A and B are shown apart, each in its own frame.
Chain A
Amino acid sequence: MSQLYGWMGKILRIDIGSGETTTEDTSKYVPEFIGGKGIATRIAWNELKPGIGPYDPENMLMFMTGPFTGTLVPTSGRGSVCGISPRIYPTPWFTYGTMGGDWAAELKYAGFDAVIIKGNSQKLVYLWINDGRVEILDAKEMAGLDTFVTQHYLKEKHGKRSQVVCIGPAGENRVLWSTIQHKLSNSIGDAGLGAVMGAKKLKAIAIRGTGGVRIAKPDKFIKICREIAELIKGGSTYYPHPIDLPFRRPIGPENQQCSHGCPLGCGKLYKNVPAGITVGSGTRNMMSHCEDLVFIHGEAETKYPTKDIKGIYHGDMYTRETKAFGEMIGTELQALCEGLGLSSAFPINYYPWFWVCIENGVTEIEGVKLEPDNAKFWAEFMRKVACREDSFGDIFAEDMMRAVDLLDLPPIVKKAAKFQFPMWGQPAHRQGRAYESQPSPLWINTMLHWIIDSRDAMASHHQSSFVVGWFPPHNEGKGGTPDSNMEKLKAAYKKAFGTSEGIEPGFENIDGKTRLAIWQDNRAQIKDSLLICDWVFPAILHTFPSREEYLEAEDYYGDIDAEAKMIAPLTGLDIDTEYIDKAGERIRNLDRAIAIRNYDRSRKIDTTGEWIYEYPEKSDGTKLDMELFNTILDSYYGFRGWDKNTGRPTRTKLEELGLTNVADELKRLGKLSMT
């Protein structure tokens, strides 16, 4: 086999039950499936057959990189982890997560595009991957260690240039919202795969590599990477230009990138913050990003339009200003959370829910008094959960939806939990109802992503919600920009797609909106396969280094061809934007096929969370009725090439994407669309 450019060419496969390791050629899967989530999805279709549960030895934990990982492509240091997750509610199913940091680049430098782990070990072990070699080593000395100490320990042992991903006590105890942790605050969180790592008794993976990623056309590649870095230097697309928000500051010493190869600095750095107030002593370092800032900064309450929602505001439609514990205590709580290996996105949903409990007469659960405004309560809560201590810890170690099922609570409290975790047991995130507002038409797109995806879709579809920062002020002035210029914004979309229907407010031109959603979703697959940052790509819009430049700009258009422009000189393959879009569609359809084959995914399952959109969007009051919802979904399925009644892909669509064997297998199982 000739050596590949961009990809390392080898996938490492390990059965940690038997200790057997093998390698497989990456060229079996690329370029058709690109890398990352794309390859993982292909392998899952081939090997994760129906009936495999998250903790079964047959389940695979797939640590994936993409062709861009470890290269000069801006924001490219990301990796993806895929597998069957116990976290998804009510059915544990195949899902994905991505994270930044340096481990993915190091894995490529060690010679591998991916590490795929199956089998369950009898005793606690870790993997040491060193320049093409792998060892399964005893980890009993690391049992119960927090994620920071684990990283320190392995870096002492294998050198400080090694990179470590690991689980904390929470993962070891199979807490459903435990993380796979890396560095200070990079993690695979709500995907729930920390618990799978715990079930495999895999404490950590330490990686060191001295190789590199070969570039087919270095001069051209360097040039285009420089141009794209210039294009995105105004920061993430959340806002047109840097403003004084923790994750949208002008880049400065207080900020840190979360990934290898990222020229931006969305993370807020807390260095040598004195500790000792609630949970520890000494000083602490931390990087905070978005939802993990909640312990520090709190989250402002965002009210619903009371005229529409009168009478039910308190209870099932509950949000509340989240307590800010300040830099010292907040950092400490976050550090405890990351150290135990719990998903630090949790307080934004758990805090208001505990208040719903209290205001509805539930002041204690399983003998533990609820005190959401007390930092010590949270420290205890996290410790108990991570160790599954007492029945309180054991119950909340399940995700919120399963915990609520286990507890005897008033119906309104149970419904409030459902409002916080509306679909797949995943926390409300940018769908235009519980927290961030998404005025029409943006929530239509985010809704479609939520109902089609296997998890909280907004982890890889920020492009559909971040444009909200370019809209006029809304949500009592807490969102949008006073300098919004909708005409220029529409012009950029028109330049990208030939039409701006997709971002025009209201419910006209539904087809334009669903087609934009499909494009966004296909590109989300590509992003998680290449891999690049969700806060930046695809760059429909480009950001500006200052407000002045934004105001003076003739044009907001970024470059939706950026991915193709970079992958072509990197790999030397003739890959253009059309190929990229098709590959994204292929990955989505294959993911859909897995969901249908293994979990009977259907239109009925897709629509289990649609009820939340019958509540009004909080800033403009727009909402769904069922007729409108069905029109939107019919349009989406139609453009997808999926059957409108069942949501199953048609043979025509699968064959068009080169997935004939997938169509054959679905047909054999009686699960192919009849049309």
Chain B
Amino acid sequence: MVSKKVSVEVQKSGKIVHNPELCRGCRICEVACSAYHEGICSAQLSRIHVVPDDLALEFPAYICQQCEYPSCYYACPKKDKSMCIYIETGARYINLDECLRCGKCYCACPFTPSLIWVSEENDKKMYYKCDLCRGRENGPICVEVCPRGALTYAKRGKLK
């Protein structure tokens, strides 16, 4: 018998790769991402967070790695309804309509900081993460708008 706790293997996903050597912290990706997903230009509501150290000239960014074994997906009490896998790209995404807002995905993310973001909206927590711009014709918008080629979209199977 298969224990309920054993993780099932899920389809692999592409992911966004950020190159801090090319990035200069213009943060166009953030405003494009939040404009596309939320209709708001905001660093906080972006799925990618660029946190430049302007004085040291270092430009790290944080974005979901679309893990091969996605802890967030396994942690979700409503998987495939709330935390879902997008067939075309393999993106792990949150369907907010079904989301219980329990925060288990947020806590399960193995990265620090968590690459699932949380924001307060009307006293309700909203969890959101990179969904590789699911359904967008030209692929992820952050990759498209980056003026420096610092963001690339590695399709599934093409990354290590």
Contact = CB atoms under 8 A, between A and B. Distances in A.
Contacts of B55: 148, 151-152, 183-184, 285
B40 A253 contact: no
Nearest to A151: B55
Contacts of A424: none
A255 B22 CA distance: 10
Contacts, number: 101
Interface string B42-67: 11110000010111110000000000
A151 B148 CA distance: 27
Interface string A94-114: 000000001001000100000
Nearest to A264: B147
Contacts of B17: none
Given A72-B35, A218-B36, A271-B57, A102 B27 contact: yes
A215 B35 CA distance: 7
B142 to A, nearest CB: 11
A259 B147 CA distance: 13
A184 B52 CA distance: 12
Contacts of B148: 251, 265
Nearest to B42: A212
A183 B54 contact: yes
Contacts of B119: 210
A226 interface: yes
Given A72-B32, A210-B44, A212-B34, A260 B26 contact: yes
B44 to A, nearest CB: 4
A71 interface: yes
Nearest to B22: A253
A261 B28 contact: yes
Contact of B145 (A161, A226, A253): A226
- Give the interface residue-count category, chain A: 35 or more
Contacts of B79: none
A619 to B, nearest CB: 34
Interface residues of B, number: 32
B68 interface: no
B38 interface: yes
Given A210-B119, A251-B147, A253-B22, A71 B41 contact: yes
Interface in B65-101: none
A221 B43 CA distance: 17
Report whether over half of chain A's contact residues are helix, strand or loop; otherwise say mixed: loop
A109 B34 CA distance: 13
Contact of A72 (B22, B31, B45, B54): B31
Contacts of B145: 72, 226, 229, 263
A253 B38 contact: no
Interface in A257-276: 257, 259-265, 269, 271
Contact of A261 (B27, B39, B42, B53): B27
B104 interface: no
Contact of B41 (A210, A212, A229, A262): A212
Contact of A160 (B24, B31, B51): B51
A72 B42 contact: no
Given A269-B57, A285-B56, A211 B44 contact: yes
A323 interface: no
A160 B53 contact: yes
B126 to A, nearest CB: 12
A71 B24 CA distance: 17
Interface in A233-273: 233, 251, 253, 255-257, 259-265, 269, 271
Q: Quick one: which of B22, B41, B145 has the most chain A CB within 10 A?
A: B41
Interface in B1-34: 21-22, 24-28, 31-32, 34
Given A102-B27, A214-B40, A161 B35 contact: no
Contacts of A221: 35
Contacts of B26: 257, 259-263
A564 interface: no
Interface string B117-137: 001000000000000000000
A32 to B, nearest CB: 23
14 contacts: A70-B41, A105-B43, A160-B51, A161-B51, A212-B34, A212-B41, A212-B42, A218-B39, A221-B35, A256-B24, A263-B26, A263-B28, A271-B57, A285-B56
Nearest 7 pairs of A and B residues by beta carbon: A212-B42, A263-B147, A212-B40, A210-B44, A218-B39, A71-B41, A183-B54
